[in-house]
Amino acid sequence: MSTRNTALFNTVVNWDELPVTQVRPGVRRRVYATDEVMICHHELDVGMTLNPHRHDDFDQLVHIAEGRANYYVDGVAHDMRAGSFLLVPRGSEHYVEPTEAPCVNIDFFVPPRADLLP
């Protein structure tokens, strides 16, 4: 039987109340994680420094909540607008390039990324 953090249940959380981390110029991140899932809220500036990378141990579900962006997966650009989702398979090189501000990108990780946990 796994242990679960029961303090997380029935607790309302608002993005505006979570601490913001400046990841790099043009990228601000807020993170909410439970025992089983992590959600990362990114505010992205048009012209930000791009960061191609890959994750070998988990898939990444991407959601553009505001604005517009090209989301690249293995060199292929996907035009995403507010309301769009994209599943990025583990091991694929990917990155986001905002094309319309404000751009809000929300990423879902299962299991939570250990490198982003406090």
Give the pLDDT of residue 32. Answer: 95
pTM of the model: 0.90
Local confidence pLDDT in tens for the 118 residues of the chain: 456 788 888 899 999 999 999 999 999 999 999 988 999 999 999 999 999 999 998 899 999 999 999 999 999 999 999 999 999 999 999 999 999 999 999 999 988 898 888 7
Buried (b) or exposed (e) across 38-50, using 16+ Cβ within 10 A? bbbbbbbeeebee
Please state the separation of Cα 87 from the chain's center in Å: 12
Give the pLDDT of residue 2. Answer: 57
Domains of the chain: 28-116 (2.60.120.10)
Strands 84-88 and 60-73: antiparallel
